[in-house]
Structure 1
Amino acid sequence: MVTYIVRRLITAAFILLGASFVVYILTAISGDPLGELRALNTANRDQLIEARIDLLDLNTPAPIRYFKWLGGAAQCLVPFAGTCDLGRNVTGQPVTEALGLALVQTLSLVTAATVLAILIGVALGIVTALRQYSTLDYGVTFMAFLFFSLPIFWAAVLLKEYGAIGFNDFLRNPDIPWYTAAGIGIVAGLVLAVAAGGDLKRRLRLGAVGFGFITALLIVASVTRWFTTPGLGIVVILLAGVGLAFAITVLVSGLQNKKALYSGLTAVAIGIVMYFPIQGLLNVATPLMIFILAVVAVLVGVGVGWLWGGYDRGQGMRVGGITAFLVGGLIVLDRFMQAWPSYFNNGKIRGRPIATIGASTPNLEGDYWVTTLDSFTHLILPTIALILISLASYTRFTRSSMLEVMNMDYIRTARAKGATERSVVMRHAFRNALIPIATVVAFDIGALIGGAVITERVFSVQGMGTLFFDGLGHVDPNPVMGVFICTAVTALVFNLIADLAYSALDPRVRVK
């Protein structure tokens, strides 16, 4: 395997050299970098032109400039030397500095969208494959392709109009009339009835339960003014934690493994016991502290699973660790909700928390919870836009892959041997269905690191896509090459990871 990886890295280096030369030359000859300055009527026009010629070294032929740029880029291979030089853009800013700022913006924008799109898309793909040609299958397929066919700029504008402006107007007086709550409840009940399996009687019963629950929940939220002073509280966290413990046990081991279920429920109990003592610590939270607490929560859950033991101790450890992590997430979410009134009433927010442009509110002051809430509210709309557009590919790839795998002989053999349906789907089918999905994920991650150009432009996020677009607009190869190198390296690395993942997912594949 080491020989294979080394050979792939050497091949990738030659690919990067050839591709970077082509991109640099095409960018350099794509227009006139002095065109905007020649159109000026100012007295210092000639001085500005001379300054840009010196800054971009335009008196040197483009191929020679590329090799000069390559010499500076090669210094980036020396770790911790601080000698990385990717040139300067037309404003004189070092490209490495601009690239660092843009990369942070892009990663904050696309990371959550990519992870959620993969999780939701894969889950929907599995469900629709198991319910092939059902109403749920047709409904998910229709909605997935509908969102996929929408122009991203149009979807983004609709989200800004109704998801930000409309919701901010609603927060001025968050009263929900009973007939509105009932209408939303009817829609939710219909969705639940369609998604549920079984006969018509069971569907109607579940739809009625969904209608009653959603309607009552909205009325209670309106009466208690929950939208302006939200919170979960220890009771909701307890109920949600118990439900998560059962759900995770079903997915990981099945309810027949009682020790695994007890591990999850014990993790929930520990989280509830620690709810009040940990509040003082959360009041002075930092990102590092939250990360450490998450690691501790997982370790405690894994330890609980190990102590419960059982015939498969590994399943109990996984259930305990995942449940503890999610319960900890609920506690952190509750703390964010406690900080919502401070953020909502902040003078910079003025009661309109859902932002439509930028990555943060300028000059906003507050503690960790207020500033993090500000980042979240700025990311909500672009994240939803990216999820809606990219959801269809993951859903359809997972569905087709699962349908192909479910018809294999070894799946019929597993069922004939008496394996449970959970074991057949999660252990035998899903693992093999992940192979083509790994390829799609590898390509998508490489593309997303390059920046969601249209989304960034609509929401005024100064990310990698905007940096690339501005470089092309000014016929400036340096920022274009910086974005290209980051994107190309990421794509090559994740494609190598996908190849290695094949051998882990399918024992018939060997990396040689």
Structure 2
Amino acid sequence: MLRFLTRRLLAGLATLFVALFLMYLLVARAIDPLQDLRESTAPNKQQLIAARIEQLDLDTNAVVRFFKWVGDLLQGDLGVAWRTGESVSALLGHAIVSTLQLVTAATFLSLLLGITVGIVSALRQYATFDYLIIFLSFLLYSLPSFWVAVMLKQWVAIGFNDFLRDPNLAWLTIAVIAAVMGFLWSLAIGGTTLRRVQVFLVAGVATAAMLAYLQLSNWWLEPQIGPILLLVLGGAIGFAVVGVFAGLHNRRALWTALSSVVLGFVLYFPMQSVFDLDPFGVDGQGAFWILLGLAVATAVVGWVIGRLFGGPDWGVSAKVGVAVSLVMAFLTFVDQVMQVWPPYSKALGGRPIPTFGDQTPGLGGNYWVQVLDSFTHLMLPTATLVLIAFAAYTRYSRSSMLEVMNQDYIRTARAKGLPERVVVVRHGFRNTLIPLATIVPIDVITLIGGAVITEAVFARPGMGQLFVRGLLEAEQEVVMAYLLVTAALAIIANIVADLIYAVIDPRIRLDA
């Protein structure tokens, strides 16, 4: 493993150096920092040109300037944006944070939805649900991102903000939504006609009950999860996790999940006092590390619960405990953020869903207000990227699952009498991820490089906008800083893909 990493890192560094050298020469050739002065009518035009040539060292050969830039880079100096005098490191730092927020949310959601729906579609091959997902994925994949972004701004942001003036859903609307959700769930679950009718009724009633609760509790203006809803959601998720990854017959895993839910419910109340401590105040200093420590502690506690229930297959119980515990912790965190919604909405004039930027200027408030503000600014650009990426991941996971389920070892597993859940989850699902191990890291790096169009539509100051600004302003240091980050991450992504391959597929050895 160490020898493999050493070889790949050395090769990556050599590739990075050559790529940066070529890009430096191309950028130096493509941009002209003197263009505005050449078109100027100022009487001291020649003096201004001479001063800028000296300032930017343009009379030096581009190759020599590149090695000077590398020397400064090795000392931690990325240069200065000469038009504004701002540090390139500061510009890059803000852009990376903004883009990472967007990339993390969009990648996680698109993978979760895309892989899940793709696998279900493959298992329902040639059924109505499969045809519906194929149509939807091709439709979304063909839509231009700028059009999706504009439609989301119009119908989601502006439409929802208008809805909040009088947040009332007609009972007919609730009935229609419940019927549609029941129909979709019946298609996804499949089975006999009786089973489809049962799923339709259960899903429809559950959806109608949820919407009625939101309507009658004034949830739209004062959203919260609260302890009761936390217990209900946690229990439902616990049963779902056990049903998929362990099977409801596995009583040890089921008791692990339920114990994690009850513990999360009990800890909900003292956590309200923890979230009011000073680190979560106005500046929010140290809040991230406290939350990270709590997340690690939550995972450890979930693992211990699973281990205590023991059994020959205690590893499954431990994984279930970790997953359910983290879900309960996440729901508690979301509840705390939602508690500041009323004052946040009031501060924004009752229109809390923004359509541009990555934060509200001069908002103030404590850590939770800042988190909610970041979340609302992420909603629309994240939804744009998720809709496009969801279509691609759905197609990838569906085709991969279909190929895997036709392999000889799947037929052997079924012939041995293994339950279909075990065949799909333990034998099919893991091997389905192998092709995605190559695609996902590269897609993530592509997004970190900047979703230029999406960032432009939502005026989000991320990496894509930083690159465009560098080109338009003829600021070579800014452009090179962007290329340095994206090229380095692209190399790292390929190494990570190889490591993921080795984890997923035991036939691959990195030390061979």
Name the TM-score, length of structure 1 as normaliser: 0.93
Q: Give 1:202 shift.
A: 3.0
Please name the residue that 1:119 is paired with. Answer: 112
Q: Which moved more, 1:364-373 or 1:195-204?
A: 195-204
**Identical counterparts, % of pairs:** 47
Q: Match for 2:98: what amino acid?
A: Q
Please name the residue that 2:488 is paired with. Answer: 489
Deviations 1:231-261 (A, max 9, x none): 2222211111111111111233222221111
Work out whether residues 120 and 188 of structure 2, in 8 Å CA contact, stay in contact via their aligned partners in 1.
no
Q: Give 1:47 shift.
A: 5.8
Please name the residue that 2:19 is paired with. Answer: 19
Q: Give 1:488 shift.
A: 1.1
Cα distance change of structure 1 residues 502 and 190 upon mapping to structure 2, 3 Å threshold:
same
Deviations 1:272-307 (A, max 9, x none): 122222211122342322222222222221111111
Q: Give 1:49 shift.
A: 3.8
Q: Match for 1:338: what amino acid?
A: Q
The answer to whether residue 142 in structure 2 is matched with residue 143 in structure 1 is no
Work out whether residues 338 and 372 of structure 2, in 8 Å CA contact, stay in contact via their aligned partners in 1.
no
Please name the residue that 1:80 is paired with. Answer: none
Cα distance change of structure 1 residues 305 and 174 upon mapping to structure 2, 3 Å threshold:
same
Could you tell me how far apart the structure 2 residues matched to 1:189 and 1:42 are? 71
Could you tell me how far apart the structure 1 residues matched to 2:74 and 2:370 are? 38
Alignment of structure 1 residues 64-75 onto 2, 5 Å: 64-75=64-75
Could you tell me how far apart the structure 1 residues matched to 2:43 and 2:332 are? 63
Cα distance change of structure 1 residues 409 and 335 upon mapping to structure 2, 3 Å threshold:
same
Please name the residue that 1:78 is paired with. Answer: none
Could you tell me how far apart the structure 2 residues matched to 1:494 and 1:399 are? 24
Work out whether residues 449 and 486 of structure 1, in 8 Å CA contact, stay in contact via their aligned partners in 2.
no
- Aligned residue pair count: 503
Q: Which moved more, 1:174-183 or 1:264-273?
A: 174-183
Please name the residue that 2:509 is paired with. Answer: 510
Q: Give 1:59 shift.
A: 1.7
Could you tell me how far apart the structure 1 residues matched to 2:51 and 2:301 are? 61
Could you tell me how far apart the structure 1 residues matched to 2:305 and 2:29 are? 64
Could you tell me how far apart the structure 1 residues matched to 2:73 and 2:386 are? 34
Please name the residue that 2:7 is paired with. Answer: 7
Deviations 1:370-425 (A, max 9, x none): 11101100000000001111112211111111111111111111111122222211
Please name the residue that 1:458 is paired with. Answer: 457
Q: Give 1:89 shift.
A: 4.3
Q: Give 1:52 shift.
A: 3.4
Cα distance change of structure 1 residues 208 and 262 upon mapping to structure 2, 3 Å threshold:
closer
Q: Give 1:214 shift.
A: 2.7
Q: Match for 1:358: what amino acid?
A: G
Partner of 2:33, secondary structure, is: coil
Deviations 1:175-231 (A, max 9, x none): 112222223233323322332301334323433443343334334423332100112
Partner of 1:277, secondary structure, is: helix
Match of 1:194 among 177, 180, 187: 187
Q: Give 1:313 shift.
A: 1.6
Q: Which moved more, 1:278-287 or 1:114-123?
A: 278-287
Alignment of structure 1 residues 267-278 onto 2, 5 Å: 267-278=260-271
Q: Which moved more, 1:115-124 or 1:350-359?
A: 115-124
Q: Which moved more, 1:59-68 or 1:487-496?
A: 59-68
Could you tell me how far apart the structure 1 residues matched to 2:177 and 2:243 are? 30
Cα distance change of structure 1 residues 130 and 350 upon mapping to structure 2, 3 Å threshold:
same
Could you tell me how far apart the structure 1 residues matched to 2:51 and 2:18 are? 31
Cα distance change of structure 1 residues 312 and 368 upon mapping to structure 2, 3 Å threshold:
same
Partner of 2:401, secondary structure, is: helix
Could you tell me how far apart the structure 1 residues matched to 2:44 and 2:443 are? 46
Please name the residue that 2:336 is paired with. Answer: 335
Please name the residue that 1:260 is paired with. Answer: 253
Name the TM-score, length of structure 2 as normaliser: 0.93
The answer to whether residue 422 in structure 2 is matched with residue 423 in structure 1 is yes
Unaligned runs of 5+ in 1: 76-82
Deviations 1:147-189 (A, max 9, x none): 1111111110111111111110111111112222223233323
